[in-house]
């Protein structure tokens, strides 16, 4: 009988919390929809490539201006020489660049006339992302054969850029895993605040001379320390498992620290909007898990449709992943990631102001 009474009580408590029940049912549906939109149907991935035209013929210009952009997969940028193209590749502005040698137009013209011709292209790619590079090589090969009107393969000489050390899978995935670990600060921060609010600890403390900003500052500082410890542990573990940090480790640390602050601010917003821990926990995961997937935490976001990447770029985590990978795997400096870095700074300030205002209002109510 006691079991039956407890059973009915738990059913009633669950059914009364409509918001928590809704999240419980909606969580798998959201993921199914997310995977369906991201990976179902036409995969309109896009890649940025550079072109250095040493032939400068009408045929090569038509190839650059018409044939390559017609795929809608390649976003072509022109460079005057290989030095500027290599610098753009090193900074991560493009995924690879193609050098069209002298005589390209003559060889294509011979093939158009059904004569014997030999097309040679040179592709230099970023070795930190082999899967994207192999796709680009395949696409350029296909477009060139279609443009020349031939079925036989063309000659493509490939050359990965030298980034001081060999890029491993751990070098690529470790920054994303660190960002994911900091993203989990959203449910952690929300849960800690909601637990004190639900236990009426905050209500009792409000009867003391303690001011609301002191509560907020104490929560924020304690969770920031937790985030810093997380970052240190993650970097050490990544290093032990083979992550090679090419760039400035303090710059990478600053990127991760800003990411943690963003997560704490979002957790504060969740704690302000949710009425109970049962509501806040699923709400946090419903927000954080899709963002982790769309931000390129576990795989490159280049495979996602452009509108999905645009949506993900509204939040700080895709910027954190891109900036930290650029620093760690390519050794770039502040000049290359300034846009992503300042986006994180602005996001941290704004979300903390919003979270502080909402949490303070929630405490007073």
Residue 31: CB partners within 8 Å, gap ≥ 6? Answer: 289, 290
* 65 pLDDT more than 80: yes
| Segment 1-12, tens digit of pLDDT | 444 554 454 456
What does the pLDDT average to over 206-221? 65
Domain residue limits, the chain: 47-160, 169-364
Is the dihedral angle over the CA atoms 317, 323, 327, 330 positive or is it negative?
positive
**pLDDT for position 295:** 81
Query: Average pLDDT, stretch 79-89?
Result: 85
Higher-scoring residue by pLDDT: 95, 45:
95
pLDDT at 164: 47
Cα–Cα distance, 155 to 104 (Å, whole number): 12
Complete DSSP assignment for 36-86: HHHHSS-----EEEEEEESS--HHHHHIIIIITGGGSSEEEEEESSHHHHH
For 123-164, how does the pLDDT look when each residue is reduced to its tens digit (9 = 90+)? 887 765 656 667 777 888 888 888 777 666 677 777 766 544
CA–CA dist 127, 136 (Å, integer): 12
Report the candidate in 307, 333, 192, 318 with the shortest Cα–Cα distance to residue 252: 333
Percent of the chain with pLDDT over 90: 8
Task: Answer whether 168's CB lies under 8 Å from 242's CB.
Answer: yes
The pLDDT tens digits of the residues spanning 162-184 come to 544 556 667 777 888 888 888 88
Q: Which pLDDT band holds residue 296 (cuts at 50, 70, 90)?
A: confident
Confidence class for position 67, pLDDT limits 50, 70, 90:
confident
Q: Where are the alpha helices (DSSP H) in the chain?
A: 2-16, 18-39, 58-62, 82-90, 104-112, 130-148, 169-183, 185-198, 201-205, 212-240, 249-273, 277-294, 306-312, 316-325, 334-364
pLDDT (0 to 100) of residue 233: 85
Residue for token pair 């030298």: 162
pLDDT of residue 111: 82
- In terms of pLDDT, which residue wins out, 163 or 319? 319
pLDDT at 6: 41
pLDDT, residue 141, reads 80
Which is more confident, 217 or 83?
83
Which pLDDT belongs to residue 259? 92
pLDDT of residue 2: 46
pLDDT of residue 129: 60
Q: Residue 56 pLDDT more than 70?
A: yes
Above pLDDT 70, what percent of the chain? 72
Looking at residue 152, its pLDDT comes to 60
Rounded to whole angstroms, how far apart are CA atoms 209 and 215? 11
pLDDT at position 253 over 90:
yes
User: In the CATH scheme, what architecture does the domain 47-160 have?
Assistant: 3-Layer(aba) Sandwich (3.40)
């Amino acid at each position: 009988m006691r079991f039956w009474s407890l059973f009915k009580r738990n059913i009633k408590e669950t059914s009364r919390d409509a918001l928590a029940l809704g999240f419980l049912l909606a969580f798998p549906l959201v993921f199914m929809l997310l995977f369906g939109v991201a990976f179902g149907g036409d995969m309109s991935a896009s890649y940025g490539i550079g072109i250095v035209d040493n032939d400068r013929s009408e045929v090569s210009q038509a190839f650059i201006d018409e044939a390559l952009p017609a795929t809608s997969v390649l976003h072509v940028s022109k460079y005057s020489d290989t030095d500027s193209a290599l610098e753009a590749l090193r900074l991560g502005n493009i995924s690879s660049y193609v050098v069209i040698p002298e005589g390209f137009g003559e060889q294509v013209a011979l093939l158009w006339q059904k004569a014997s011709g030999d097309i040679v292209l040179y592709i230099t790619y970023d070795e930190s992302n082999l899967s994207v590079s192999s796709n680009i090589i395949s696409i350029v090969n296909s477009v060139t054969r279609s443009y020349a009107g031939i079925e036989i393969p063309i000659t493509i000489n490939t050359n990965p850029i030298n980034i001081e050390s060999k890029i491993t899978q751990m070098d690529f995935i470790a920054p994303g895993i660190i960002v994911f670990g900091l993203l989990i600060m959203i449910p952690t921060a929300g849960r800690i605040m909601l637990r004190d609010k639900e236990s009426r600890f905050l209500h009792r403390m409000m009867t003391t001379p303690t001011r609301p900003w002191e509560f907020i500052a104490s929560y924020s500082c304690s969770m920031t320390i937790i985030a810093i410890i997380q970052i240190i542990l993650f970097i050490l573990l990544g290093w032990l498992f083979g992550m090679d940090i090419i760039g400035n480790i303090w710059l990478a640390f600053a990127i991760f620290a800003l990411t943690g602050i963003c997560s704490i601010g979002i957790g504060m917003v969740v704690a302000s909007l949710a009425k109970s821990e049962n509501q806040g926990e699923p709400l946090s995961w419903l927000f954080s898990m899709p963002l982790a997937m769309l931000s390129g935490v576990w795989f490159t976001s280049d495979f996602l449709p452009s509108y999905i990447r645009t949506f993900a770029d509204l939040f700080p985590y895709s910027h954190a992943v891109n900036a930290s990978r650029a620093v760690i795997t390519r050794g770039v400096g502040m000049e290359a990631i300034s846009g992503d870095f300042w986006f994180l700074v602005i996001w941290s300030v704004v979300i903390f102001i919003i979270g502080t205002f909402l949490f303070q209002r929630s405490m007073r109510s």
